[in-house]
């Protein structure tokens, strides 16, 4: 994994050796599953009437949400995608996804 950097909040420094870029770790920014609050809902808007199970509210790195999406798709045995911080699982798997998330230690709420 490549290093990622962010700027510090320093406006100006007279130190010629000062580096205002700080390295950070994406994994440190992803809370533990018990600290996450996910929302599981069923959606069929703009999908030509087809239902998808939508998981929102994930906080963390892109790699972490992609890994969670991969696990959910695998355990449900269907396709899906991860876009814009949301996990889409093809089909009506609301109850099954809720059971899987509970087994993994995630906090969740069912919507709709």
Domain with residue 82: its CATH number is 3.30.780.10
**Phi, psi at residue 19, to the nearest 5°?**
-115, 115
Do the domain assignments include residue 86? yes
| Structure-derived torsion over alpha carbons of residues 82, 43, 91, 66, reported in degrees to the nearest 10 | 10
Number of domains composing the chain = 1
The CA distance from 65 to 35, in Å, is 14
- Is position 42 within any domain? yes
- Residue 9 is predicted with a pLDDT of 60
Provide the pLDDT for residue 70. Answer: 96
Assigned domain for 24 exists: no
The pTM assigned to this predicted structure is: 0.73
Asked if residue 66 belongs to a domain, the reply is yes
Indicate the DSSP class of residue 98.
H
- Domain-located, residue 43: yes
Q: Is residue 21 part of a domain?
A: no
**pLDDT at 102 (0 to 100):** 94
Local mean pLDDT, 10-residue blocks, the chain (112 residues) = 55 66 61 91 86 93 92 95 93 95 94 80
């Amino acid at each position: 994994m490549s290093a990622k950097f962010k700027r510090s909040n320093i406006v100006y420094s007279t130190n010629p050796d000062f580096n205002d870029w700080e390295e950070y770790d994406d994994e440190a920014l992803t809370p533990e599953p018990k600290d996450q609050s996910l929302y599981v809902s069923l959606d069929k808007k703009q999908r030509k009437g087809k239902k998808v199970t939508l998981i929102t509210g994930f906080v963390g790195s892109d790699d972490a949400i992609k890994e969670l999406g991969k696990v959910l798709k695998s355990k449900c045995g269907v396709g899906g995608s991860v876009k814009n911080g949301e996990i889409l699982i093809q089909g009506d798997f609301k109850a099954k996804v809720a059971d899987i998330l509970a087994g993994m230690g995630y906090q969740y709420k069912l919507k709709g």
